[in-house]
Structure 1
Amino acid sequence: MDQPNVVLVASPGLGHLIPILELGNRLSSVLNVNVTILAITSGSSSSAETEAIRVAAARTACQITELPSVDIDNLVEPDATVFTKIMVKIRATKSAVREAVESMKPKPTVMIVDFLGTGLMSVADDLDLTAKYVYVPSHAWFLAVMVYMPVWDTTVEGEYVDIKEPLKIPGCKPVGRKELMETMLDRSDQQYKECVRAGLEVPTSDGVLVNTWEELQGNTLAALREDEELSRVIKVPVYAIGPIVRSNGHVEKHNGIFEWLDKQRERSVVYVCLGSGGTLSFEQTIELAWGLELSGQKFLWVLRRPASYLGASSSDDDQVIESLPKGFLDRTCGVGLVTTQWAPQVEILSHRSVGAFLSHCGWSSVLESLTKGVPIVAWPLYAEQWMNATLLTEEIGVAVRTSELPSEKVIGREEVASLVRKIVAEEDEEGQKIRAKAEEVRVSSERAWTQGGSSHRALFEWAKRCRLVS
Structure 2
Amino acid sequence: MQTTKPHAALLASPGMGHFIPVLELGKRLVSEHGFNATVFVVTTDTSLSQSQLLKKSHPIPKLLDIVLLPPVDISTLINPTTGILAQLAIMMRQALPSLRQAISAMKFCPTALIVDIFGTEAFAISEELNMLKYVFITSTAWFLALTIHLPTLDAKVVEEEHVRNHEPLMIPGCSSVRFEDTFEPVLDRNNQMYIEYIRMGVQMPTADGILVNTWQDLEPKTLGALGDKRKLGWVAQAPVYAVGPLVRPVKPGSSSDVLGWLDMQPQQSVVYVSFGSGGTLSAKQTTELAWGLELSEQRFIWVVRPPVEDDAAAAIFKTGHRSDNTPDFLPDGFLTRNQKKGLVVPMWAPQTEILSHPSVGGFLSHCGWNSTLESIVNGLPMIAWPLYAEQGMNATMLTEDIGVAVRLKSTPPVVVSREEIETTIRQVMEDKGDAIRARAKTLKSSAEKALSKGGSSYNSLSYVANDCEIRLRYIKTKAEGA
TM-score, normalization by structure 2: 0.91
- Structure 1 distance, partners of 2:80, 2:52, is 26
Please list, as runs of the form range in 1=range in 2, the aligned pairs for 1:361-440 lying within 5 A after superposition.
361-405=367-411, 407-425=412-430, 428=431, 430-440=432-442
Residue in structure 1 matched with residue 480 of structure 2 by the alignment: none
CA offsets, 1:248-307, max 9 Å, x none?
014554x22122111211111100011111111111011111111111111111111111
Deviation at 1:377, TM superposition (A): 0.3
How far does the alpha carbon of each residue in 1:56-113 deviate from its partner, in whole angstroms, 9 at most, with x for none?
Answer: 5756641111111222333334532221121112112222211211221111111100
2:151 is matched by which residue type in structure 1? P
Alpha-carbon distance in structure 1 between the residues aligned to 2:326 and 2:22:
32
Secondary structure of the residue that 2:109 maps to in structure 1? coil
User: Amino acid of the residue matched to residue 418 of structure 2?
Assistant: R
Question: What is the CA deviation profile of residues 182-216 of structure 1, one whole-angstrom value per residue up to 9, with x for unaligned ones?
Answer: 22222210001100010000011111010000011
Superposed CA offset, 1:156-181 (max 9, x none): 25253323320100000001112111
**Equivalences for residues 2-17 of structure 1 within 5 A:** 2-17=4-19
- Residue aligning to 2:362: 356
For structure 1, the 5+ residue unaligned runs are: none
The secondary structure found in structure 1 opposite 2:174 is: coil
- Give, in whole Å, the separation in 1 of the partners of 2:307 and 2:392: 21
1:75 matched residue in structure 2: 77
List aligned pairs for 1:276-315, cutoff 5 A. 276-308=277-309, 310-311=315-316
The 1:104–1:158 alpha-carbon spacing in structure 2 relative to 1, beyond 3 Å, is: same
How far apart in 2 are the matches of 1:62 and 1:317?
45
- SS of corresponding position for 2:159: coil
Q: What's 1:447 paired with?
A: 449
Shift in Å, 1:246: 0.3
- Secondary structure in structure 2 of the residue aligned to 1:226: coil
- Name the CA shift for 1:157/1:420 in 2 (closer, same or farther; >3 Å): closer
Cα gap change, 1:20 to 1:331, in 2 (>3 Å): same
Shift of residue 320, structure 1, vs aligned partner:
7.5
> What residue is the counterpart of 2:51 in the other structure?
49
Larger mean CA deviation between 368-377 and 459-468 belongs to: 459-468
RMSD of aligned alpha carbons: 2.1
> Which residue number corresponds to residue 460 of structure 1?
462
**Identity of counterpart residues, as a percentage?**
45
1:112 to 111, 114, 122: 114
| Alpha-carbon distance between aligned partners in 1 of 2:246 and 2:102, rounded to the nearest angstrom | 26
Q: Counterparts in 2 of 1:207-286, with a 5 A limit?
A: 207-253=209-255, 255-286=256-287
Match of 2:329 among 323, 326, 334: 323
CA distance in 2, matches of 1:251, 1:281: 36
SS in 2 for 1:175: coil
Letter in 2 for 1:380: P
Question: Residue 478 of structure 2 corresponds to which residue in structure 1?
Answer: none
- Give the partner amino acid of 1:32: G
Which letter maps to 1:355? G
Q: Find the counterpart in structure 1 of residue 141 from structure 2.
A: 140
* CA distance 1:311–1:297, change in 2 (3 Å): closer
**8 Å contact 1:212–1:243 — kept in the other structure?**
yes
How much has 1:386 moved relative to structure 2?
0.8
Q: Alignment partner of 2:469: what SS?
A: coil
Q: Secondary structure at the match of 2:279?
A: coil
**For 1:266 and 1:415, how far apart are their aligned partners in 2?**
25
Q: How far is the alpha carbon of 1:420 from its aligned partner?
A: 0.6
CA distance in 1 between partners of 2:419 and 2:81 (Å): 38
Shift of 1:53: 3.8
Q: Could you tell me which amino acid in structure 2 is paired with residue 353 of structure 1?
A: S
C-alpha separation in 1, matches of 2:157 and 2:45: 37
How many residue pairs were aligned? 463
Distance 2:145 2:252 in 1: 37
1:270 counterpart SS class: strand
Residues 154 and 282 (structure 1 numbering): CA distance in 2 closer, same or farther, change over 3 Å?
closer
